Amino acid sequence: MGKQINVALIGNPNTGKTSVFNALTGLNQKVGNYPGITVEKKEGICKLPRGVKAHIIDLPGTYSLNASSLDENVVIELLLNKNDKDFPDVAVVISDVENLKRNLLLFTQIKDLEIPSILVINMADRMAYKGISLDIPYLEKQLETKIALISTRKNQGVKELKELIANYKDLSVKPCLNASEIDVEYFNNLRETFPNQLLYKLWLVITQDVNFGKTDRNEIDAVANFKTKSKSDLKRLQQKETIKRYQFINDTLKKGQKIDLSTAKDIRIKLDRVLTHKVWGYLIFGVILLTIFQAIYDWSSIPMDFIDSLFASLSEWTKNALPAGAFTNLIAEGIIPGLGGIVIFIPQIAFLFLFISILEESGYMSRVVFLMDRIMRRFGLSGKSVVPLISGTACAIPAIMATRNIESWKERLITILVTPFTTCSARLPVYLIIIALVIPEGRILGLSYQALTLMLLYLIGFGTAILSAYILNKVLKIKSKTFFVVEMPNYKLPMFKNVALTVLEKTKSFVFGAGKIILAISVVLWFLASYGPGENFNNAETIITNEYASQNLSDDELQQHIASYKLEHSFIGITGRAIEPVISPLGYDWKIGIAIVSSFAAREVFVGTLATIYSVGSDEEETIKNRMAGEINPILGGPLFNFASGISLLLFYAFAMQCMSTLAIVKRETNTWKWPILQLVIMSSFAYIVALIAYQLLK
């Protein structure tokens, strides 16, 4: 047949909607954002019986059609707009067998929109465990629907669900109940004024503050103006509607659902007492975080080193295999390292999302959010902000991606903007080499001065992030509801398929989202470092050969001097010279200037750039250190890397926004260049001022 139908998956949070989505679509899914907003859009393709293909849209979790968040607005806007290309032919409403009463509120509202609807009762494998029995034929009759009893964990009922979706035209579109009875006169008046419109759709338009961009504007304005009742009257009517629906649901479940509490076994209360305890809860969370951070750091180092060496070998092989020239250099020094700069982040991202997914799937993440909210709220953050802030110590990119589960846009934006202050692993190469140069050997209470300096830099980063969040909370004039509601789902063993698909999707999202920008920047940096204007750059080989003719240098040493001279007179070298007057008050020379400029692509580039500038062929840290230690300050004399300039440089790297890939992710998550540009300007200015004060005071 080749026909394609639209299927919307709708349900409360924590009903297993993602599991049903994964069971239906498998690997045939993609994740993006809804146009113009940062709410995640998940869609996939499912093959149904008789050659029918279904375009499945996994809508954000919502408790009802009375919108209170950006996510819930997305659901309502789609269900009220028949002109939308994603408007569903059939709505699949996911409910959880243990919370059927609450889940059915949303189902009865969707039925009032006269969209063919299927009720999925998920986690059916827990029915015997919880002492629950259901009279499915009775429930189907009362709810005017077909019910699919499924267990995604045991892969039961998925085939039957696909059959029901394929036969969606046989479904009744009759509402379950007559909600207009809450105010007969008002609704009759509304019906007479707009005889060609669906009554419940009119009611939602009047009561909801959502965007109906693609519908007939005049028609909507006419309906919106039909407010013969005040806001408080409308709110009371909404409450009456909810009460009426629950009365119907209670009456239905009295006969359709039996719960034998004597057979239910539940250890949840005992676990919650420990995991949300005001002392033990924080202690357990701290241990889990340390374990995760250590695991991300240790486990990702092996594949990251492998990827690094693989791309270095590939670059070297390309240089040797292809004919010499600009095209070969572009591939070997621009494109391949650019691709390496994207791929090298994959292990950290994959491990981080592996752990986050396991914590979410198990139900523990909701307890963490509840636990941390009371602390974070004082600083304008959400309890959910704690995960990105801590995971930022590995890498800011996956940490910013992890803010997606923060409902309040203001809290989410603040978390995105302050996360880069936390010390990421890319800063470590810079910290280690500068600390080794300027912090003396020695110990206090058994701890070395160098280790204490490193720990202090981590604390400064985290403290600045929290302080910045407090300031942003006061400064940002963004209207955002900040009431805190978190559901405590049941504890369960994570499903391997869900975890694997989450890791795969998030990693793919990074590679194809930020990857394009990182690659482009890498190619631009290569060009700026490989080419330069004027005679000095073009005749570098002749100039250096003549200059060192009397010194009997080896071929390798001569090539290093030529490379260093070329870099100094390249476009990026000229940039370094141009910014020298600006950076010399911080205690830096033009060479450090080049390293700072090039490290805006990625902070760890700093050490590699200095190694090239100082004509060091070896990758050994000691050799670079010795050359750096021997550098003389061109203005003041004495060592360039002394205590004052070293502390200035450490503080500059602690605060500056030197990571183009992070800026790319911030742009992607906020859907605008406004915030990443502000982030770049403010963080870099702050870093400059702090480094300037530190150098001037210490010199």
**CA–CA distance, 70 with 64 (Å, rounded to integer):** 13
Alpha helix stretches (DSSP H) within 420-495? 428-438, 449-475
| Residue 40, annotated as binding a ligand | yes
CA dihedral 397, 398, 400, 403 (to 10 degrees): 170
Consult the annotation and say whether 334 binds a ligand: no
Low pLDDT (below 50) residues in the chain: 1, 38, 213-217, 264, 615-622
DSSP state of 379: G
Q: What is the pLDDT of residues 416-446, one digit of tens each?
A: 999 999 887 777 777 877 888 888 877 777 6
What residue type is assigned to position 670 of the chain? T
d(CA 148, CA 277): 39
H or E, element range at 259? strand 257-259
- Is 14 annotated among the ligand-binding residues? yes
Would the annotation count 23 as a binding residue?
yes
Q: Is 420 annotated as a binding residue?
A: no
Distance linking the first and last C-alpha atoms of the chain: 79
Residue 99 domain-assigned (yes or no): yes
Nearest to 401 by CA among 143, 662, 214: 662
Which residues face 119 on adjacent strands? 93, 147
Copy the structure tokens of residue 623: 């050799």
Q: Per the domain annotation, does 269 fall within a domain?
A: no
User: Is 11 labelled a binding residue?
Assistant: yes
188 is in an annotated binding site: no
Tokens matching residue 689: 């001022």
* Residue whose structure tokens are 């992607």: 668
SS3 643: helix
185 is in an annotated binding site: no
Q: Is 276 annotated as a binding residue?
A: no
**Token pair in block for residue 450:** 């160098």
Rounded Cα–Cα distance for residues 678 and 684 (Å)? 10
Listed in sequence order, the residues at least 6 apart from 370 whose beta carbon sits closer than 8 Å to its beta carbon are: 276, 383, 486, 488
Residue 123 assigned as binding residue: yes
pLDDT at 225: 54
Q: In what order do the strands lie in the sheet with 29-33?
A: 29-33, 40-47, 53-58, 4-11, 90-96, 117-122, 146-149
12: annotated binding-site residue? yes
Is 574 inside any structural domain? no
402 belongs to a structural domain: no
Radius of gyration of the chain (CA): 30
pLDDT of 316-339, one tens digit each?
888 888 888 878 878 877 777 767
pLDDT at 45: 92
Q: Which amino acid, 568? A: E
581 is in an annotated binding site: no
- Is residue 77 annotated as involved in ligand binding? no
Residue 125 assigned ligand-binding role: yes
Domain carrying residue 136: 1-264
Determine whether the annotation assigns residue 36 to a binding site.
Answer: yes
Domain count, the chain: 1
> Residue 38, annotated ligand binder?
yes
51 is in an annotated binding site: no
Residue 16 assigned to a binding site: yes
Q: Is residue 432 part of a domain?
A: no
525: tokens are 């940096």
Q: Does some domain include residue 186? A: yes
| DSSP track, 13-35 | TTSSHHHHHHHHHTT-EEEEE-T
CA 563 – CA 455 distance, rounded (Å): 37
22 is in an annotated binding site: yes
Query: Is residue 23 in a domain?
Result: yes
Q: Is residue 545 part of a domain?
A: no
The pTM (predicted TM-score) of the whole model is 0.62
Tokens of 139: 């429930």
CATH number of residue 79's parent domain = 3.40.50.300
327-351 residues labelled b (16+ CB within 10 A) or e (exposed): eebebbbbbbbbbbbbbbbbbbbbb
Q: Is 26 annotated as a binding residue?
A: yes
Is 18 annotated as ligand-binding? yes
Would you say the C-alpha torsion 232, 235, 241, 246 has a positive or negative sign? Answer: negative
Residue 356 structure tokens: 């986050």
